[in-house]
Amino acid sequence: MDNLVELELGTIQQGDALTAVNALLFKAARDVLARPGLKDPRTVTLKVSIAPDFDAETKKNYPNISWDVKQSIPGKKGLTTKAVVDDQAGTLFVSTIEDNARQGTLPLEFPRTAEPEGTGT
C-alpha cells in the first residue's frame, strides 16, 4: 500500500481537483483586475462528495469520491461577439482576442485555401 496517501484536496485524483480550483481562482482574479468597476463577486465553488460503497464479501468500505468545480463570473453569461464570413470560401472567422473582442481589425479579404464546393472549373 505504498501508493496510498491520506485523503486531502491535493491528493484527489492525483491533484487534479486542486489544479482545477487554482485555475478558476486565477481566472476570477484576472477578471477582477480587468473589470474593477464591476463590484459583483466572482465565485469558485468546489463540491466534493464521498459516498460509501461497502463490499459485503470483503467487509470493506471503498467510498466513491467525486468532485466538481464551478465558477461564476458576473456578466459572462449570454455574451455575443461578431464574426466575419468569407462568402467565397464559406468560412466563418472570429477574433483570437479573448472575451467578446471587437472584430474591426480583421482583414476584409481572406486568402482562399481551396475552391468552395460546387464551383467546379
pLDDT at res. 103: 41
Q: Is 42 helix (H, G, I), strand (E, B) or coil?
A: coil
Q: How many degrees, rounded to 5, is the angle at CA 46 between CA 42 and CA 51? A: 160
Mean pLDDT, the chain cut into blocks of 10 residues (121 residues total)? 80 91 94 89 94 91 92 74 62 53 46 56 50
pLDDT at res. 67: 93
Of 92, 98, 97, nearest to 76 by C-alpha is: 98
| Cα distance between residue 64 and residue 55, in whole Å | 12
The three cell numbers of residue 39 are 463590484
CB 23 within 8 A of CB 32: no
